[in-house]
Amino acid sequence: MNLSLDFPDPRKGESGDVADALEVIARGDLEGAVARLKAWMEEPESPIRAIRHQPARAGVFEPMPEGVPDQLRAVLAERGIESLYSHQAQSYAALKAGANVVVVTPTASGKTLCYNLPVLEKLLEDPEARALYLFPTKALAEDQLHEFHAIVEAMGSGIRAFTYDGDTPQDARKQIRERANVVLTNPDMLHAGILPHHTKWAKAFENLRYIVIDELHTYRGVYGSHLANVLRRIARICAFYGAKPQFVCCSATIANPKPLAEALTGESFALVDQNGAPAGERYFVFYNPPVVNRQLGIRRGYLNETRRIATELLGRGQQTLVFANNRLATEVLLKYLKDKCDRPEGSVRGYRGGYLPRERREIERGLREGTIRCVVSTNALELGIDIGSLDVVVMAGYPGTIASTWQRAGRAGRRQGPSMSLMVASSAPLDQYIVEHPEYFFESPPEQAHINADNLEILVNHLKCAAFELPLEEGERFGMHRVEELSAFLEELGVVHKSAGRWHWISDTYPADAISLRSVTSDNFVVIDQTQAEKVIATVAFPAALVELHEKAIYLHEARQYQVERMDYGQRKAWVRQIECDYFTDAIDYTEVKALEEFGGEAMGEARALHGEVRVNRQIVGFKKVKFYTMENVGAGALSLPEQEMHTTSCWFHFPPKFFEALPELTPTDRLNALTGLSHALRTVASLLLMCDPRDLGVAVTEQSGEAATGFEPNLHLYDNYPGGIGKSAPLHHMP
């Protein structure tokens, strides 16, 4: 086999160079391929900015514990598992000792057995025992059910496991409630479909021994804050039925797994973070697109460069997963690949939220079986769904966090073979900083995952649900709070009534229906294709719908263009028709921020830094038409969609007229433009300092109004991009 690489002139920056090297790596000639990449990196103005090597790692094994029943031991041996990785053995021992356990190891390190082993052992000992598995997505639950069933069927035991989610048929739900030993579900279903009906689940709660929370790292920000309150509610219900289940949490690598698990559950945990699983050799490459205009510092478009590399890989037979950072980038990149790639229909697919469940299952199956050769995905495929062994992962842009980047990279080489991940930097400041300062990425710990379970808006909503489920009692605590003061507020709202020291739910409303765990509103828009017979092709979450489904928008789905002909805001529906066009649309929004209360402030020269509560009003006011490939603006339109309001917290800078006296040559427009640029730069720096995703922070420049204003007095806001705030703006204000 000829493994030589004939690179073209490296200064041309041809993507084929990278593709050749990746192909050779996938075929096993690591040394030769990396030597060529390193030689290319030494050339002037090479787009290769860094190459990092992770050597193969041998596994650390421990004997199968003596307590594992013979029939389970035999089935595991048939599957090639005669001993445990060290982290599996440690988690097993800690659980047997009665501790709650959080396991933190990389992708594909066998975390599933950390909870399946003790759960199966318990169920074989006690057929009445129950376990609850929580996964962030339905797809993960289905994936793990398949794995669990395979072991149970091989044992020939009567253990029964079922998924329970919104897709579960009504006629099957009663049987699951009464018969299931293991219920695999998601936080949304637990919140709205199980806890409010706990009397129907009485037998399950009485015998609940384990609660498993997989993909712990995903429960950050507003989603994690909601889950913490859902877990407070399940703790009340378990106590009511006399159960005290143990928790098993599994996470990809983050900086604070133990504090996060404890904040979510209110329990103490033992940490298992020494990975004993073997791993194949891995290379990580940073690629910065070549400069095409030196005067302006303009580089080749990162989406086009990603397409060039992925196309070369496909042409060489490499199964490839491409990550993009948002839905629009995913669909645009998918179109580029389908336009340029001479592959059988269906071998290049997209994957993101909003695709119908049957489409997503079909794509996952195609990846595992190898019929699909390339998938362009949002972060939806970061999670541990089994998609088989991939040769290469290409990232279009920096994902925003170190933890997420490693999670995506871990999708390559899941079967311990050699692999490579490549990140193509965009022109965004954060991307450029990362690729030009690779030591920051490779030497920094991953980010912390923060929640604010006591966010008042979230807390009160879940307290309503708790009161609906069981009466609130004097002296009871809900998280860190005594319920008396909050219950008095609920009494004023007329939803509870106090009697004999207990607050009883008296409203005829169903409070769980009013709460979405993942967004401001629980409503999704349905996208209806009316090109021929009407059919539903997708769903879009409410916040994204205002951007993607306004009238005259081009909605992209599986690289096809649909024009939105009508949007019904009340019915949450949008009707689209497939068209052929050479552009996509990008919404234009206007954001206004008004300070409601100042928590603190101090002078910074002529300016002033403040922190407090704000009201954010955001409205989609128009859209622009952007041509594929060239990214030219080729048209625009005006819109007037309903304004969205959010109360949150902000760190902001106030600039009085005196601040600008030293800049007399700048017009008000110049000043506003400069501050807008500064706001985006500050968000980039803030995300690095806080080690958070830049999307957690919103930015806005607004003018001071009212009697206090004496001229042009702008405020530059960095605000928490979630209702009620999640604690990002406060540390910004206190930083030196």
pLDDT of residue 30: 54
* pLDDT tens, residue by residue, 225-265: 999 999 999 999 999 999 999 999 999 888 899 999 999 99
**Whole-number Å distance between alpha carbons of 183 and 131:** 7
pLDDT of residue 6: 36
User: What's the token pair of residue 361?
Assistant: 């299952």
User: What's the token pair of residue 156?
Assistant: 């020939």
* pLDDT tens, residue by residue, 395-433: 999 998 898 999 899 888 765 677 889 999 999 888 999
**Whole-number Å distance between alpha carbons of 142 and 162:** 9
**Whole-number Å distance between alpha carbons of 94 and 96:** 5
**Whole-number Å distance between alpha carbons of 106 and 134:** 19
Could you tell me which of 366, 268, 376, 363 has the C-alpha nearest to residue 330? 376
* Number of residues written out for the chain: 736
The answer to whether the Cα torsion of 79, 80, 83, 84 is positive or negative is negative
pLDDT of residue 519: 60
pLDDT of residue 7: 35
- Kindly report the pTM of this predicted structure: 0.86
The counts of H helices and E strands in the chain are 22, 34
* pLDDT tens, residue by residue, 169-222: 999 999 999 999 999 999 999 999 999 999 999 999 999 999 999 999 999 878
| Inter-CA distances, 433 with 326, 436, 438, 570, 684, Å | 20, 5, 8, 44, 10
pLDDT of residue 450: 81
**Whole-number Å distance between alpha carbons of 566 and 457:** 34
Higher pLDDT, 604 or 577: 577
Mean predicted confidence (pLDDT) in 701-709: 67
Q: Return the CATH architecture of domain 82-272.
A: 3-Layer(aba) Sandwich (3.40)
Q: Give the strand pairing for 419-424 and 348-351.
A: unpaired
**Whole-number Å distance between alpha carbons of 431 and 599:** 34
- The helix (H) or strand (E) run that includes residue 618 is strand 607-627
CB 252 within 8 A of CB 108: no
CB 530 within 8 A of CB 544: no
Identify the CATH homologous superfamily for domain 10-56+279-374+384-443: P-loop containing nucleotide triphosphate hydrolases (3.40.50.300)
Q: In sequence order, which residues have a C-beta less than 8 Å from that of residue 63 and are 6 or more positions away?
A: 83, 84, 89
pLDDT of residue 507: 95
| Inter-CA distances, 22 with 112, 301, 336, 416, 419, Å | 30, 21, 21, 16, 8
Interhelix angle 111-125/138-155, nearest 10 degrees:
50
Under DSSP, the state recorded for 432 is H
pLDDT reading at 28 higher than 70: no
Alpha helices in 370-416 (DSSP H): 402-409
**Whole-number Å distance between alpha carbons of 164 and 141:** 9
3-state class (DSSP) for residue 115: helix
pLDDT of residue 415: 59
Q: What are the residues facing 615 on neighbouring strands?
A: 594, 647
Question: Residue type for 731, please?
Answer: P
**Whole-number Å distance between alpha carbons of 302 and 15:** 12
Residue ranges covered by each domain of the chain: 10-56+279-374+384-443, 82-272, 456-514, 590-621+643-734
3-state class (DSSP) for residue 555: strand
Could you tell me which of 712, 706, 637 has the C-alpha nearest to residue 669? 712
pLDDT of residue 13: 44
**Whole-number Å distance between alpha carbons of 431 and 399:** 9
Q: What are phi and psi of 14, to 5 degrees?
A: -70, 135
Task: Indicate the pLDDT class of residue 142, thresholds 50, 70 and 90.
Answer: confident
3-state class (DSSP) for residue 11: helix
Total Cβ atoms within 10 A of residue 347: 17
* pLDDT tens, residue by residue, 263-318: 999 999 999 999 999 988 888 999 999 998 888 888 999 999 999 999 988 888 88
How does 169-204 read in b/e, with b if 16+ C-beta sit within 10 Å? eeeeeeebbeebbbbbbbbbbbbbbbbbebeebeeb
Q: What are phi and psi of 248, to 5 degrees?
A: -125, 115
Q: Residue with structure tokens 């038409």?
A: 625
pLDDT of residue 76: 97
Higher pLDDT, 19 or 479: 479
* pLDDT tens, residue by residue, 49-83: 999 988 888 999 999 999 999 999 999 999 999 99
pLDDT of residue 664: 86
Q: What are phi and psi of 667, to 5 degrees?
A: -75, 165
Total Cβ atoms within 10 A of residue 574: 25
> What's the start-to-end Cα distance of the chain, in Å?
60
Q: Give the strand pairing for 101-104 and 48-54.
A: unpaired
Higher pLDDT, 21 or 525: 525
Task: Indicate the pLDDT class of residue 137, thresholds 50, 70 and 90.
Answer: confident
Give the gyration radius of the chain's Cα atoms: 27
CB 536 within 8 A of CB 557: no
Q: Give the strand pairing for 291-293 and 298-299.
A: antiparallel
**Whole-number Å distance between alpha carbons of 78 and 68:** 15
**Whole-number Å distance between alpha carbons of 221 and 571:** 29
**Whole-number Å distance between alpha carbons of 520 and 224:** 14
Q: In sequence order, which residues have a C-beta less than 8 Å from that of residue 248 and are 6 or more positions away?
A: 91, 95, 100, 101, 102, 103, 114, 115, 118, 210, 211, 212, 213
pLDDT of residue 736: 64
Q: How far is CA 337 from the centre of its chain?
A: 24
pLDDT reading at 3 higher than 60: no
Lowest mean pLDDT among 10-14, 299-303, 670-674, 704-708: 10-14
Mean per-residue pLDDT over the chain, rounded: 89
**Whole-number Å distance between alpha carbons of 44 and 10:** 9
CB 41 within 8 A of CB 48: yes
Is there a common fold for 10-56+279-374+384-443 and 82-272? yes
Lowest mean pLDDT among 2-11, 361-370, 372-381, 615-624: 2-11
Q: Residue with structure tokens 């190898």?
A: 370
CB 333 within 8 A of CB 376: yes
* pLDDT tens, residue by residue, 535-554: 999 999 888 898 999 999 99
Q: Give the strand pairing for 83-85 and 419-424.
A: unpaired
